Amino acid sequence: MLIESIGVILLGLVLGSFLNVVIHRLPLDESILYPGSRCPACRKSIRWFHNVPVIGYLVLRGKCVACGAKISARYPFVELLTAFLFWGAYLGLPGDGIQAVNQFRIWIFILIGIAVTFIDLDHRIIPHTLSFGGWAVGLLTCMADYRHGAWELVGASVAGFGFFFLFGLLYEKVTGRVGLGGGDVNFMGTIGAFLGFGGIWSSILISSISGSVVGLLMATWSKRRGEVDGGQDGVLRTQIPYGPFLVFGALVELFFGVSAWIGL
């Protein structure tokens, strides 16, 4: 068990390192495979022994060896986060004959969720490659899900997409503002394909609560700094990406099964 856990953690670190490439390049329409890792500032290639997850960052002391530009601490954070979530998901799996496919499903969802979070934070978008790609993987592997029936996952993916699509249309018609981007709507289909009906509603509930709290805190802070209009409308117009909160809600459901607690 110990050796397997170490292997899972190492796999998470390696894939987390690759995720950093995806997060940086995918929104820029750059290849995630070629060229190899390079410094965003000077574009110099990073040697393989400097590219070892976490350790490379520590050895370089957070700076590019070629130009001295600062390397964001988010790089090792993404690697460690991926490894931790991989390990947590591995510990929670039942030991049955379809464990490998279940593990594949869960890990793919974790990878997509992390990429969605940081891309949305940086660019306010959720690339269709992630949402539709995740949706496809979820549906293609739904027969192996040990928690839900295949037809439930298919129906939940359609319901999640449809609910957010209609809600976004209604919100825009009533307020005259775009409330949900197409990426958020598509990603709900992905969540449904992996977590079922209960997962959809618990993800919406958790993301709404956490997003509202963070949004109000950010709006209040911006108001005090004079960055937004001091009136109520100015506070409400403060924009924050919703994708990270959807991912947070989905991961809470994935690991803790909140929907079962509240009877969804």
Q: Are residues 76 and 102 in the same domain?
A: no
11-64 residue pLDDT tens: 999 999 999 999 999 999 999 988 888 888 888 888 888 889 999 999 988 998
Q: Are residues 85 and 110 in the same domain?
A: no
Q: How far apart are CA 105 and CA 141, in angstroms?
A: 7
pLDDT of 109 higher than 50: yes
127-152 residue pLDDT tens: 999 999 999 999 999 988 877 889 99
The pair of structure tokens assigned to 73 is 């601490």
Q: Are residues 116 and 219 in the same domain?
A: yes
Q: Are residues 155 and 79 in the same domain?
A: no
Among 8-12, 202-206, 223-227, whose mean pLDDT is lowest? 223-227
pLDDT of residue 238: 57
In this predicted model, which residue has the larger pLDDT, 66 or 94?
66
| The length of the chain, given as a count of residues | 264
Q: Are residues 131 and 60 in the same domain?
A: no
Considering 91, 121, 156, which residue would you say is the last residue of a domain? 91
How does residue 235 score in pLDDT terms, banded at 50, 70 and 90? very low
What's the domain range around 70? 1-91
Alpha helices in 26-148 (DSSP H): 55-60, 74-91, 99-123, 128-140
pLDDT of residue 218: 81
| Number of domains, the chain | 2
Give me the mean pLDDT over the 223-234 stretch. 58
Considering 72, 91, 110, which residue would you say is the last residue of a domain? 91
CA separation, residue 63 to residues 40, 69, 78, 123 (Å): 12, 5, 17, 24
Q: Are residues 217 and 120 in the same domain?
A: yes
Q: Are residues 87 and 123 in the same domain?
A: no
Task: Say whether 45 sits in a helix, a strand or coil.
Answer: strand
Considering 33, 62, 91, which residue would you say is the last residue of a domain? 91
Among 21-35, 74-88, 160-174, whose mean pLDDT is lowest? 160-174
Q: Are residues 77 and 181 in the same domain?
A: no
Q: Are residues 3 and 32 in the same domain?
A: yes
Q: Are residues 196 and 80 in the same domain?
A: no
Q: How far apart are CA 162 and CA 166, in angstroms?
A: 6
Q: Are residues 77 and 139 in the same domain?
A: no
Residue among 193, 191, 112 at smallest CA distance from 152: 193
pLDDT of 263 higher than 80: no
Q: Are residues 6 and 109 in the same domain?
A: no
Q: How far apart are CA 16 and CA 22, in angstroms?
A: 10
Residue among 131, 92, 88, 212 at smallest CA distance from 204: 212
Give me the mean pLDDT over the 59-72 stretch. 89
Q: How far apart are CA 209 and CA 138, in angstroms?
A: 26
DSSP structural state of residue 47: P
How does residue 202 score in pLDDT terms, banded at 50, 70 and 90? very high
